[in-house]
């Protein structure tokens, strides 16, 4: 069912021909722009979603010059819209990989996972809607901090720590959650904000040190090369590539986290020699066309958070299992029958699986 959402009641004068519109979820259909001063309405010429980034990009047919602008989106109820694999791109790579990828795209269009709103890339925009475009430098800094907090920590816990930092720094500094404000905190103060994330003591030290380095060596911004990023304490290649993609729009590698690593091995997208995320990244990059490098992380991570969860995969509602594409499918679960207890368990996953439960059970 389509739904209507007002995105903003005052976005400032839209005097340019192109404007990026931020929204808090990634569904899209029709966007209407209305000048609330004189009632004139404008339609967008085109709308594209930038998958996983929760953005809409659209070009206006004409400009609108008013500080009072209302934007409404009549959206399809599709939580995620990731592009499928172009058939010409499926030739290279392990057998059947594109079919699996496309099934995940279908499934991900039916549920939201923690990564979609509380993953590192989305988090700064979830906390401060539109931050990526209103203040890209601050967005990059918050993205870096969320990535530094993310290792060995669930997105939900990481998000809570980021909200605590945001609330605290807004009170203590006029610039809010920015490098300047964070630089003024001692290690123990940083630690008190992030105390629920894994390895918080060490991460607090890394963050304090990183703030000094950013100020002294990078003019208060995040470096824009992987070589410089991985020199920051506590920052590895996975974080680095995601930071470059989301923070600078530079697509120079795949961010491989534990979910992508685990599932790439399961589906034989990589060989058994890919024993580390870094080895997995190199193997994936050897055949996956670069245009999918950015999507593959949030696509697969959300799937791994909600459907193919470690040690308790939900094969009975997984299209990959149902279609006989998965070498690791749990045959007992696929055979059924499905008990009420099982359905209750499925409803307790980290995302709303109603659509898939209705489809398969």
Q: Which residue reads 């986290």 in tokens?
A: 257
CA nearest 263: which of 246, 249, 280? 280
- Nearer to ligand SF4 by Cβ, of 233 and 328: the residue is 328
DSSP 8-state class, residue 58: E
Would you tell me the crossing angle of helices 97-108 and 293-306 to the nearest 10 degrees? 60
- Nearer to ligand SF4 by Cβ, of 4 and 345: the residue is 345
List CB contacts of 319: < 8 A, sequence separation 6 or more: 103, 106, 107
The count of residues interacting with ligand SF4 (CB under 6 A) is: 12
Q: Tell the smallest beta-carbon distance from residue 13 to ligand SF4 (Å).
A: 49
- Nearer to ligand SF4 by Cβ, of 329 and 353: the residue is 329
Distance of CA 355 to CAs 2, 23, 114, 132, 337, Å?
Answer: 15, 23, 17, 31, 19
CB 68 within 8 A of CB 81: no
Write the burial class of residue 348 (CB in 10 Å: 0-12 exposed, 13-18 middle, 19+ buried): exposed
List strands edge to edge, sheet with 18-22. 3-8, 69-75, 30-35, 41-50, 55-60, 18-22
CA nearest 8: which of 66, 51, 50? 66
- Nearer to ligand SF4 by Cβ, of 128 and 314: the residue is 314
Under the binding rule (CB under 6 A), the answer on residue 301 touching ligand SF4 is no
Q: Tell the smallest beta-carbon distance from residue 327 to ligand SF4 (Å).
A: 8
Which residue among 238, 335, 343, 348 is the active-site one?
Answer: 238
Q: Tell the smallest beta-carbon distance from residue 154 to ligand SF4 (Å).
A: 19
Token pair listed for 54: 């929760």
Q: Which residue of this chain has its Cβ atom nearest to ligand SF4 in the complex?
A: 321
Q: Tell the smallest beta-carbon distance from residue 313 to ligand SF4 (Å).
A: 4
CB 20 within 8 A of CB 86: no
Cα 237–chain centre separation = 17
- Nearer to ligand SF4 by Cβ, of 234 and 328: the residue is 328
- In the residue annotation, 238 being an active-site residue is answered as yes
Cα 277–Cα 283–Cα 287 angle in degrees, nearest 5: 135
CB 205 within 8 A of CB 187: yes
Q: Tell the smallest beta-carbon distance from residue 326 to ligand SF4 (Å).
A: 3
What count of Cα atoms within 13 Å lies in the side-chain half-sphere of residue 331?
1
Q: Tell the smallest beta-carbon distance from residue 49 to ligand SF4 (Å).
A: 25
- Nearer to ligand SF4 by Cβ, of 224 and 330: the residue is 330
Token pair listed for 290: 């670069």
Q: Tell the smallest beta-carbon distance from residue 97 to ligand SF4 (Å).
A: 13
- Nearer to ligand SF4 by Cβ, of 105 and 235: the residue is 105
Contact pattern for ligand SF4 over residues 302 through 341, marking x by CB under 6 A: -----xx----xxx--x-xx----x-xxx-----------
The residues of the shown chain that bind ligand SF4, judged by CB under 6 A, are 307-308, 313-315, 318, 320-321, 326, 328-330
Q: Catalytic residue positions?
A: 238
């Amino acid at each position: 069912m389509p739904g209507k959402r007002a995105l903003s009641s005052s976005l400032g004068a839209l005097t340019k021909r192109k404007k990026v519109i931020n929204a808090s979820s990634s569904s899209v259909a029709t966007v209407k722009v209305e000048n609330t001063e004189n009632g004139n309405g404008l339609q967008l010429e085109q709308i594209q979603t930038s998958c996983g980034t929760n953005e809409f990009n659209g070009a206006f047919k004409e400009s609108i010059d008013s500080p009072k602008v209302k934007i409404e989106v009549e959206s399809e109820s599709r939580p995620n819209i990731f592009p499928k694999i172009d058939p010409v791109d499926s030739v290279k790579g392990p057998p059947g990989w594109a079919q699996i990828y496309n099934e995940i795209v279908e499934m991900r269009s039916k549920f939201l996972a923690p990564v979609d709103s509380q993953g590192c890339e989305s988090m700064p925009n979830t906390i401060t809607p539109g931050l990526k475009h209103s203040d890209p430098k601050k967005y990059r800094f918050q993205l870096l901090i969320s990535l530094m907090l993310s290792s060995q920590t669930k997105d939900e816990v990481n998000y809570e720590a980021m909200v605590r930092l945001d609330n605290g720094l807004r009170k203590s500094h006029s610039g809010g959650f920015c490098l300047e404000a964070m630089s003024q905190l001692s290690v123990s103060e940083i630690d008190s904000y992030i105390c629920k994330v894994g390895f918080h003591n060490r991460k607090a030290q890394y963050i304090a040190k990183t703030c000094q380095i950013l100020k002294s060596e990078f003019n208060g911004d995040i470096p824009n090369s992987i070589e410089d990023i991985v020199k920051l304490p506590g920052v590895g290649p996975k974080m680095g590539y995601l930071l470059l993609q989301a923070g600078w729009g530079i697509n120079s590698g795949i961010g491989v986290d534990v979910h992508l690593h685990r599932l790439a091995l399961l589906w034989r997208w990589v060989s058994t020699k890919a024993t580390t995320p870094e080895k997995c990244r190199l193997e994936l990059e050897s055949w996956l066309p670069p245009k999918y490098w950015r999507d593959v992380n949030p696509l697969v991570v959300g799937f791994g958070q909600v459907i193919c969860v470690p040690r308790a995969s939900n094969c009975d509602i997984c299209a990959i299992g149902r279609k006989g594409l998965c070498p690791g499918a749990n045959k007992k679960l696929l055979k059924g029958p499905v008990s009420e207890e099982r359905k209750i368990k499925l409803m307790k996953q980290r995302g709303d699986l109603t659509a898939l439960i209705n489809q398969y059970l």
